[in-house]
């Protein structure tokens, strides 16, 4: 088999793995958009905030230590304990649920029946507020996150492919785990939204707030639930990306990677987020591999958007988006 083809296969596999990580972020967007028609600009920052909180709790950091020290002239920064990964993840989840409740209570319940653009603006405000709040709570230095996920070259794949092609593929263990987790997450979310009472109510709220109210669905409850779910997805994405590239400000920018995924897969489809992520991941890696040397590289920054634009022209609702129902 020619070397080029083997490289291309490895690139494709790596693209799939990267796509899964994009999809994890995109999922959070889809959940909130589906249930409330809000495009949540803050999703990326939520992932950052979740990761920061997780690291902080694991290391026993004192929240708001700068603030406390400045006011009381003390010098606290760490508690004397550290929390094991699983416990810290649970605690972080509790923080995300609280955040969901607070966001809904303070902001969104006052914006029922408002224009989508107003809700969108509110999430932009929320994003920058949370970014600053996260910094104030946990400090702005770059942190290392290690919840015990295996990282580095997967030996099994390396050896098998070496036996087959005489060239070992480099696949990161972390990416493999991310894939498994993403598949699990999506299956659970799809089952939840299609087959459970609350999932049905969630979709009902997305279709028609007023009608959902009229049959006795509590909008507040559904929204807190959905924001908590989005917080949970953000936490998973934060763990994966944080482990991969450290917990730092740039984590919030992964949201920008989720946008083309959403355009492609459709804003309203949970499986669409995954398929869109995979297409974007593979597309941009292959394009870089094939065309990068010709056009001078750095295509990964823009290729995804071009791909998404092309899809938009031909299928505005995305690949799996809900059909735009028009009755004539």
Q: Residues interacting with another protein, by CB under 8 A? A: 112-113, 197, 200-201, 203-204, 206-219, 322, 325, 327
Is the Cβ of residue 80 or residue 210 nearer to another protein in the bound state? 210
> Are 44 and 251 spatial neighbours (Cβ–Cβ below 8 Å)?
yes
Is the Cβ of residue 107 or residue 176 nearer to another protein in the bound state? 107
Q: Least Å distance between CB 1 and another protein?
A: 47
- Length of the chain, in residues: 328
* 49's tokens: 């905030």
Is the Cβ of residue 93 or residue 319 nearer to another protein in the bound state? 319
What is the CA 289 to chain-centroid distance, rounded?
A: 26
> Are 238 and 47 spatial neighbours (Cβ–Cβ below 8 Å)?
yes
* 138's tokens: 């946990």
Is the Cβ of residue 38 or residue 52 nearer to another protein in the bound state? 38
Q: Least Å distance between CB 222 and another protein?
A: 10
Helix segments in 59-196, DSSP class H: 65-72, 85-106, 116-138, 155-165, 173-195
Is the Cβ of residue 91 or residue 107 nearer to another protein in the bound state? 107
Q: Least Å distance between CB 223 and another protein?
A: 13
Rounded CA gap, 142 and 66, in Å?
A: 16
Q: Least Å distance between CB 212 and another protein?
A: 7
Longest dimension (CA), the chain: 70
The 3-state DSSP class for residue 143 equals strand
Q: Least Å distance between CB 273 and another protein?
A: 17
> Are 107 and 126 spatial neighbours (Cβ–Cβ below 8 Å)?
yes
What is the CA 223 to chain-centroid distance, rounded?
A: 18
Q: Least Å distance between CB 111 and another protein?
A: 11
Question: Which residues fall within 8 angstroms of residue 245, CB to CB, at 6 or more apart?
Answer: 251
Is the Cβ of residue 265 or residue 283 nearer to another protein in the bound state? 265
């Amino acid at each position: 088999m020619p070397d080029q083809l083997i490289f291309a296969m490895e690139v494709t596999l790596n693209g799939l793995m990267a796509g899964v990580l994009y999809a994890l972020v995109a999922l959070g967007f889809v959940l909130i958009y589906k249930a409330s028609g809000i495009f949540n600009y803050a999703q990326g920052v939520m992932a950052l905030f979740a990761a920061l909180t997780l690291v902080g709790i694991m290391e026993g950091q004192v929240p708001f230590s700068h603030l406390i020290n400045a006011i009381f002239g003390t010098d606290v920064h760490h508690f004397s304990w550290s929390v094991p990964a699983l416990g810290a993840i649970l605690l972080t989840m509790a923080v995300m649920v609280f955040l969901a409740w607070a966001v809904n209570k303070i902001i969104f319940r006052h914006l029922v029946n408002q224009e989508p653009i107003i809700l969108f603006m509110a999430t932009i405000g929320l994003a920058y507020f949370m970014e600053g709040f996260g910094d104030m709570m946990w400090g702005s230095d770059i942190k290392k996150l290690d919840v015990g996920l295996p990282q580095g070259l997967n030996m099994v794949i390396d050896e098998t492919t070496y036996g087959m092609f005489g060239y070992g593929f480099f696949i990161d263990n972390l990416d493999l785990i991310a894939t498994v987790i993403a598949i699990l997450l999506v299956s659970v979310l799809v089952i939840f939204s299609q087959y459970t009472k609350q999932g049905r109510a969630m979709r009902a709220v997305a279709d028609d707030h007023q009608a959902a109210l009229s049959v006795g669905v509590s909008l507040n409850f559904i929204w807190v639930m959905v924001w908590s779910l989005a917080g949970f997805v953000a936490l998973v994405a934060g763990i994966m990306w944080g482990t991969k590239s450290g917990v730092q400000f740039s984590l919030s920018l992964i949201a920008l990677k989720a946008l083309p995924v959403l355009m492609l897969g459709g804003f309203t489809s949970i499986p669409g987020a995954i398929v869109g992520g995979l297409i974007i991941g593979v597309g941009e890696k292959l394009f870089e591999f094939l065309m990068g040397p010709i056009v001078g590289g750095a295509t990964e920054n823009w290729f995804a958007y071009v791909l998404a634009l092309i899809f938009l022209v031909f299928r505005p609702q995305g690949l799996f988006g809900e059909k735009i129902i028009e009755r004539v």
